[in-house]
Structure formats: structure tokens, C-alpha cells
Amino acid sequence: MLRFNSHSIDFKKEIKIDKWLENPAMNIYSYNVSFSLAFGGDRNFSFKQTDDGKDLKLNLYLEKESKNAFYFAVNSDMDGASTTLIHLRRKGFHDIYSQLAGWLREKQIAYPKDAELEKIINENLFFNYFFSVGKDMGSDKYAAMTSRSPRYYVSGAFWERDSFLWSFPAIRLVDKELYFKLSREMILMHGKNAGDHAHYIDGTVLYPGFELDEAASYFILIKDFEEYDEELLRELDNVFKRIEKEYDSSTGLYKTFLLPSDDPCVYPLVTIDNVILWKGFSNLLKIYERLNMLDKVELLRKRIEGIRNGIYKYLVGEVDGEKMFLWSTDGKGNYRLYNDPPGNLGLLPYYGFVDEKNEIFENTIRHYYSSRYKYYYEESRIRELACDHHPNTPSGLGLCGSILNPIMRSQAISWLMEAEMDYGLLCESFDKDTGEVRTGIGFATGSGYLAFALYYALIGED
């Protein structure tokens, strides 16, 4: 069983011969998990069940020099597993394969200018699509998560930022209808604990600790919504109320406890978090204006203006004779110079906070991608930034942010082409010279982020 991490469970299993097809099937059940598997093929085969006193085994006997396609079907109980197996056999391997291949061809993103980049976009796009979302067999409800892959080190848990900011925009490129359905359902499921570091996939808190970028991500997600029912508006209002608890009236900014990397902050007023919130509040304002909710409109306008003024007053400083955006401050003169990859400061133009030719922004990027910054390795082959979380290896998430940054875009794409990472899929960090994966394999939402970043940079702006 996988839920954030691997867990051993005490379970029983029994192999039976199913009454429908006389195929072998297995029940697996314990106090907290129960499901069944059925096994069959296009052609008949013989088998023998054995019990060595320790384990139940199924020995299969296949005819020599004969072709067969085998199916594994999973469902809540043996009847469901076996009837699903019947369906798979009726459709047949060739039909199933041709339908899937046809769907992939229809949904893939074309980029004829560069075949290798087209391959990277689509492999990451579909890995995200199939591994960042699942369906619960018991309730038939969708569940979003950072990765369904057991290769990922915290598989089966939910981060709002990972899904709402990275994964869902890529899902939208494949299936808009699913995107809107997922967005609404996940807002309703997870909004009650908006901003808490990590959730179980049912929305309850797994790992407490407020992260402003995660709470703000709800309002980034709603920018394309055209319908707002009472239930959705009520949950969005609850998210707003939770964020308001972090309002710092002396600066007009909002505080966070954890950074986008999930590490504790040094100073609680963080530039990128407030920029994401500024953009999110701008999205929310449009909804309230459309619905003529005047009291909320007035408050939001004040908050939006206050965040922008607060950033320029408290989060811009002079470093080496040049004005640049600081990473964070306490609002009392203390500040930190840093660039956290999951919240790359290069994203400021992407969120519409500055123009790419803004002098302060240019100075900021020039500072971090230089020998003045401790996590920039000038002599390395791939010079994307490292960070506190993994100080000697560049970040895959930082690379995505650089692709979305017009100043660094072409350089970042060239680095991407040199980095194998996780067999072409995005990983959390990789070797700065070889490009091989170092941490975070099987990172489905990260793959979505890379696919979307490349689409936005190469195709979406054409």
C-alpha cells in the first residue's frame, strides 16, 4: 500500500477459480484495504494452484509456439474484477492498443521545429496525465496527487502547488473537460485545509505548516472558470479567510511559514509567494466584479494594491549598487538573498507582475546567475541553480521556472537538452555535469510542469 510512503499491512489473500470464465482470480483483504484481481488471456491456458504452506502460488502452463495476450483486471471484488476481464477479452488486445494509440496521436502536441523537444513535451505531458490523477475504486471519485508512481519517494499524497500550479495546466492541454471537472472537485475537497503543507488524497491534513503559495494556488486555478455555483464560491471564500489570517497590516503583505520548497522560511514575507497571491487575488477580483459582489470587490482592490506597493517598498533592495528583488524580509529591514527553485523569481513576468525588461527584474536575474550567488556553479556544464534543499545539484523545478523566464529561456532549453534526468522525464534534481537524475524520480506533477512550461514558451506564445 502506498500513501505518502510505503506501509506494510497485514492482509490475507485467496486464489479462487471464478465462476464466470473459470479464470484464476485473487482476493486481497485486510482491515483497511480490499480488492481483487482477475487474470486471463485471449486464448485458453492451463494452470495449477499450489500451496507450499507459506504462500499460495499459481503455476501457468502455456502452449509452445503459440501467441497469447494476457490481461490483469482489478476491481473492488472478484465479481467486478472478472467482469472487467470479460470486457477486456471481448475488446481484445489489438482493439485496445489501436484505441489507445489513436487517442495518444490525437492528443499529442506537435512541434515540428524540433523533434527532440516534441518528444520531451509529449512524454512529460502524458506521464503527468496518467500518473498525477487517479480514481478511487470505492467511491468512483477522482483524486489528484503528486505521483501515483511507486518510484516517487512521497507517492500518493497531495500538494496544492504541485497539482494546481504544475500538473493541472498540463492536463488542460490534453483534456479541458477533465481539467475543469478536476479543478472544481479538488477545490471542494482540499479547500477546507488550504495552505497546509501536504494533504492525504481525501483532503485531510497529512503534514501541517502554512504555505502561502499553496493557498494562493486556488485563485490561480480559477482564472478560466466561467461558472461559479454557491458551493464553489463558499469554498473560495473559506480559502480567502484562511489567507487573511496571514495578513501583515504594517507592510500590506502576507506571511508564510514554509517556502515553496516546503522548508521553513527565515523571514515570513516572501516575494514570490506574494506575487502569486497578487495574481490570484486579481483573478478572484474579476469573479467578484462579474457577480457584482461590491463589498468583496472593494476589499480585494485594496489588498491587490497593498501587495504591489508592499513588494516595491519592502522587497526591493540595493545589492552591489543595483536595485533588485529580495527573496524575503521581516518588514523591519532584515532580508534574505535567495532563489528557491519551486518558487523561482524568474516567474515574475509569467505571473504578470513585471515586464521582462523591467530593470529591477533584469538586475535580479543577473545577480543570481552569476558567481555572486552561492548556488550558481559557473564551471559546471548545466548552470541551473541549486538550493538549500539540494545544494550541489541543479533543480528540475528551477529549470521549468527558467524556461518560463524570457531572459533565461533559450539558455534553460539548451540545458534541458543536455540533461537526461529521469529517462527524459523531469526529476527533482540532477547532476550539474552529467545531467543524470539525483533525486525525485517518477515525479508526475513535475513532468506536467515541464510539459506546460515548454508549451507556453515555444508554442503558446506563437
Q: Alpha-carbon distance 89 to 172, whole Å? A: 32
Predicted pLDDT at 1: 41
Question: Where do the domains of the chain lie, and which CATH numbers do they carry?
Answer: 2-104 (no CATH), 118-381 (1.50.10.10)
Question: pLDDT confidence of 163, banded at 50, 70, 90?
Answer: very high
What torsion, rounded to 10 degrees, do the Cα atoms 194, 7, 123, 187 define? -20
Query: Which phi and psi angles does 334 have, rounded to 5°?
Result: -90, 140
Which range (140-154, 177-191, 414-428, 446-460) has the least confidence? 140-154
What pTM was estimated for this model as a whole? 0.93
pLDDT beyond 60 at 7: yes
Q: Which of 418, 416, 412 is nearest to 447 (CA)?
A: 416
Which residues touch 185 (CB under 8 Å, ≥6 apart)?
A: 141, 142
Q: Alpha-carbon distance 215 to 236, whole Å? A: 10
Mean pLDDT computed over 166-173: 98
Predicted pLDDT at 64: 66
Summarize pLDDT for 53-103 with one digit per residue, the tens.
556 566 666 666 677 888 999 998 888 999 999 999 999 999 999 999 999
Grid coordinates of 325 = 528583488
Predicted pLDDT at 138: 78
Mean pLDDT computed over 169-198: 97
Written in H, E and C, the secondary structure of 140-209 is CCEEECCCCCCCCCCCCCECHHHHHHHHHHHHHHHCHHHHHHHHHHHHHHHHHHCCEEEECCCCCEEEEE
Grid coordinates of 2 = 502506498
Predicted pLDDT at 460: 83
Q: Which residues of 196-211 are buried (b: 16+ CB within 10 A; e: fewer)?
A: bbbbbbebeebeebbb
Is the CB of residue 241 less than 8 Å from the CB of residue 299? no
Q: Alpha-carbon distance 443 to 28, whole Å? A: 28
Q: Alpha-carbon distance 338 to 360, whole Å? A: 15
Q: Which of 43, 45, 46, 36 is nearest to 15 (CA)?
A: 36
Three-state DSSP state, 248: strand
pLDDT beyond 90 at 426: yes
pLDDT beyond 80 at 262: yes
Is the CB of residue 434 less than 8 Å from the CB of residue 415? no
Q: Which residue has the higher pLDDT, 4 or 40?
A: 40
pLDDT beyond 90 at 42: no
Q: Which residue has the higher pLDDT, 222 or 32?
A: 222
Residue type at 251? T
Average pLDDT, rounded, for the chain: 92
